[in-house]
């Protein structure tokens, strides 16, 4: 009888473990982070006019908290974050023009953190160029920068990075409507009611297929990581239906995790005043909670085993944050092989891998704790050339597909 109870106990334990990934669980991490909602300061949307010169923040993703004149030729743009303390990602975006053609100096005055992003300019908000470095300077003994701008009556867009707001991301997602490999939906809505886009990639039925999950833009200014994610997904759509990858695997994509923060021009946080990539434990923030639940629910319905989670970000330089040897996920050897193939294809000397354990409640840790999956935080540098970003995204997709197709079940 004792052995019988032991037998049924083992069976129940195995059953509980088998079901665990398909029930969204709260997870513990060595380093706790309080992600309960905190207040933010909303910038006032307005038109600033000083004599002949005007500036505005009246568009999605704008950040301009004040506009003043210092002297005859110099103006100042005040840039403040949504709240503090906050990561040093001092985002700015505005339009500026003059009633008559003239050249001005514009000081970016930061109330928190120093100048980080080299200015990009555009005449239409779509085609962007990097402002010549000879026209931008850091002010000595200051966190501010000053730029020289040629103004005309036509508004000039000035931004920390190319603007990729909720509408523009939606246009990218919706271009795949009608593609037989792509199903488009939402994982819910943000606090302010913006759709949280979702793409499902599979050739035919995705039931029982091992799954890769891709997320992006937890942090609003991290546009370069988003560009890499775009190239990565586009390569899979272009080739995954022919090379057998989407016959065998399912891909779930969440390209804009923080739509409110993006459209509000935030440095880092959502409307809850929180870094969303610290909330993969208790899910205090609605956006993280909805996406995490959507991933779990979708995989339960499709009986999908999550093998790999990729989270695309931006930082000062290209880097891959991976698991160290203390973590043993489902794809032993995958990360080393994947990075080596990327390195070989790009013909670079160093791929810049930085391994770590499961310290803080970030998405990389969540994929392991929830699913036992491999996971990599894929970071692109702020100033990485755009053509190289595209190439890197494509090469990464090809290497992943090749390795997983070679995998023996």
Which residues lie below 8 Å from residue 14, measured CB to CB, with a gap of 6+? none
Residue among 103, 107, 133, 106 nearest 118 (CA) = 133
Token pair 């665990």 is found at 20
Helix, strand, coil percentages in the chain from 3-state DSSP, rounded to 5: 30, 25, 45
Percent share of the chain, pLDDT over 70: 95
Q: What is the reported pLDDT for 81?
A: 98
Q: What is the reported pLDDT for 2?
A: 42
pTM over 0.75: yes
Q: What is the reported pLDDT for 20?
A: 61
Q: What is the reported pLDDT for 290?
A: 98
Q: What is the pLDDT of residues 103-135, one digit of tens each?
A: 999 999 999 999 999 999 999 999 999 999 999
Q: What is the reported pLDDT for 6?
A: 38
Q: What is the reported pLDDT for 3?
A: 46
Structural domains of the chain, with CATH: 24-38+164-406 (3.40.630.10), 47-159 (2.60.40.3120)
Q: What is the reported pLDDT for 21?
A: 82
Q: What is the pLDDT of residues 100-111, one digit of tens each?
A: 999 999 999 999
Residue among 18, 23, 38, 35 nearest 281 (CA) = 35
Q: What is the reported pLDDT for 49?
A: 98
Is there a contact between 298 and 290 (Cβ–Cβ < 8 Å)?
Answer: no
- Residues in the chain predicted with pLDDT less than 50, given as ranges, are 1-19
């Amino acid at each position: 009888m004792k052995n019988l109870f032991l037998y049924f106990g083992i069976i129940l334990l195995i059953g509980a473990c088998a079901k665990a990934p398909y029930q969204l669980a709260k997870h513990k991490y060595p380093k706790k982070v309080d992600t309960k909602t905190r207040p933010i300061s909303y910038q006032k949307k307005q038109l600033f006019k000083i004599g002949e010169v005007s500036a505005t923040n009246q568009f999605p993703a704008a950040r301009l908290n004040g506009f003043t004149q210092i002297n005859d030729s110099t103006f100042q743009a005040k840039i403040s974050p949504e709240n503090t303390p906050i990561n040093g990602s001092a985002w700015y975006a505005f339009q500026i023009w003059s009633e008559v053609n003239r050249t001005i100096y514009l000081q970016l005055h930061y109330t928190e953190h120093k100048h980080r992003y080299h200015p990009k300019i555009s005449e239409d908000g779509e085609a962007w160029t990097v402002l010549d470095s000879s026209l931008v300077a850091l002010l000595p003994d200051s966190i501010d920068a000053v730029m020289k701008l040629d103004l005309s009556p036509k508004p000039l867009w000035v931004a920390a990075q190319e603007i990729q707001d909720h509408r523009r991301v939606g246009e990218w997602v919706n271009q795949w409507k009608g593609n037989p490999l792509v199903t488009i939906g939402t994982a819910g809505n943000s606090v302010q009611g913006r759709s949280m886009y979702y793409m499902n990639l599979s050739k035919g039925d995705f039931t029982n297929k091992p799954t890769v999950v891709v997320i992006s833009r937890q942090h609003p200014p991290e546009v370069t990581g988003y560009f890499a994610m775009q190239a990565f997904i586009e390569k899979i759509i272009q080739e995954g239906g022919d090379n057998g990858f989407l016959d065998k695997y399912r891909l779930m994509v969440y390209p804009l995790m923080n739509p409110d923060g993006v459209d509000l021009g935030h440095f880092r946080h959502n409307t809850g005043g929180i870094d969303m990539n610290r909330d993969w434990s208790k899910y205090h923030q609605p956006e993280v909670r909805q996406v995490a639940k959507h991933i779990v629910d979708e995989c339960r319905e499709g009986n999908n085993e999550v093998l790999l989670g990729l989270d695309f970000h931006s930082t000062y330089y290209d880097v891959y944050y991976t698991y160290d040897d203390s973590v043993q996920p489902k794809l032993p050897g995958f990360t080393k092989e994947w990075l080596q193939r990327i390195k070989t294809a790009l013909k670079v000397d160093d791929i810049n891998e930085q391994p770590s354990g499961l310290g803080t409640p970030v998405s990389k840790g969540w994929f392991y704790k929830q699913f036992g999956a491999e996971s990599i935080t894929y970071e692109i540098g702020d100033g990485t050339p755009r053509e190289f970003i595209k190439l890197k995204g494509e090469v990464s997709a090809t290497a992943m597909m090749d390795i997983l197709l070679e995998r023996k079940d």
